[in-house]
Every structure is written in structure tokens, then in C-alpha cells.
Amino acid sequence: MTPAQRARLEIREKRHTGSTRGLAPGYVQCNLAVVPQALAFDFLLYCQRNARACPVLEVCDPGSPEPRQLAPGADLRTDLPKYCVYEKGRGREAADIRGLWRKDLVAFLIGSGITFDAALERAGVPTDRHRWVLNSRIPTVPAGRLRGDMVVTMRWLTPGQAIVATQVSSRFPYNHGAPIHIGDPSAIGADLAQPLFGGAVPALPKGMVPVFWACGVTPQQAALASGIEFMIAHAPAHGFVTDLEADKFCIP
């Protein structure tokens, strides 16, 4: 059993219910978005037009919860530790979504920045703390009924770490790639007061630089902003561990 398969099994058996950060390092992790088939083209188009935030790595067949390319045998209804469910523009967390599954649902797996954590660690950039998921005021390109602002992931790093993190993450274009901003959060309207995940942001330590990446939680912001009737997503930082090795899915 690979570390990825073991991680999914622990999640399925509810032995791991927390964040997937640090879980099965070196495997590509994905964010999840599940929408009714009637919205699937608009959603895929939204992802294409906003590929920095929403790089689609697999689209399951309608009604199927199995990502046959990225993790054959897995079940997206049980193999993530926590979900968010959006109904008519309102969201709630859910530990289990089996009762919500329908034959007309289409599941999208979207690249995640957690994927390059192992590569960052190898290059000397710590990844175990100081990370937030935040709203910004960077508009996304609309598609069909979907629109909204980009969600961003922020870390603070030393200037040297920020440079290395830019170099390393650039090599992972299918998992958000390079940062989209470095420095002043207000320049992109990042909402430090109300992070979507990770607790309120304290004052920036002296000598540290905030570094921002596009984030795969962006479709959830679009679900809220667009008032779409139904979407299931991962809870922020509670992703899906694929069988794909990160070092085989990047620019060497």
C-alpha cells in the first residue's frame, strides 16, 4: 500500500479527520468541486478561464464518485476528511456527503498548493505553519452563471524563502504555480480580518514578507457569489490525496 492509499484509507475509516496538509507528502493533492451536470460546462469553462486558481486535473463521469485517472478505486464521497456544501448561495461544513450524492453530479478535481509542500521543504522553506486561506478583491473571469473574486493562500516567509518558494512553485503550473502577489495585502484586497481557514491573521512579524498564491477554494467563493443552487466542495485544506507523484507532474 502506498502512502497515498494509506492516507485515503485512514480518511475513509474516519481515523484521520483533520487537514490533509503534511499527509502523504510528495503526492499530488486536489481540491474538490461537485456540481449538477446542468452546470458542468459553465463550471469547466470557469476553471479554464481562471486556470491559475482552478487547474482542473480530472473530471469524473456524471454520477461517478471515482477519479479513475488520478486514484482508481477511490471514492470522493468518503475519501476527504471534511466537506463544504453550498445550497442557493449558503455554505455549511459536512463530515459526510454520502446522503447528498445524486446521479447527475459531476466531480471536478482541482490542483492544490499542498502538492508542492514537499518540494518546498526539500528546498528549505518550512510549510508546517503560518498559512491562511483568504478572500481577495481580484476579480475572476466570469463564465455562464459563475463569477466572484479569487481566493488566495497566504504564507509569510523570509525574503530568501520567498524567492526560493517562487522558484519552486513555478515548477508546478498544474497546482497553482508561482505566487500571484508578494507584499502589501491591501494591494489585492486580501481580507486579513476574516480568513476562510486558519484563524485571524496576527500582525506580521518583523522581517517577514507575505506571499500569496491563487487558491482552489475560489470555486466555493463563486458558488456563494453566484448563488448557484448546489455544490459540494472540500473544506479548505482538507483535500483529496491522489496516486500521482508530485515530482512526476511538474516542470523538472
Which residue ranges make up the site for a second copy (CB under 8 A)?
40-41, 44-45, 48-49, 56, 58-59, 69, 141, 170-171, 173-174, 177, 251-252
Alpha carbons 37 and 40: distance in angstroms, whole number: 5
Cα separation of 19 and 80, whole Å?
9
For residues 199 and 252, which CB has a smaller minimum distance to a second copy in the complex?
Answer: 252
**Please, what is the minimum distance in Å from the beta carbon of residue 139 to a second copy?**
13
Q: How far is the CB of 43 from a second copy (least distance, A)?
A: 10
Nearer to a second copy, 156 or 230 (CB): 230
State which residue, 109 or 201, has the beta carbon closest to a second copy: 109
Q: For a second copy, which is the closer residue by CB, 64 or 170?
A: 170
Q: Residue 152 pairs with which residues in a beta bridge?
A: 134, 214
Q: How far is the CB of 59 from a second copy (least distance, A)?
A: 6
The distance of closest approach from Cβ of residue 206 to a second copy in the complex, given in angstroms and rounded to an integer, is 30
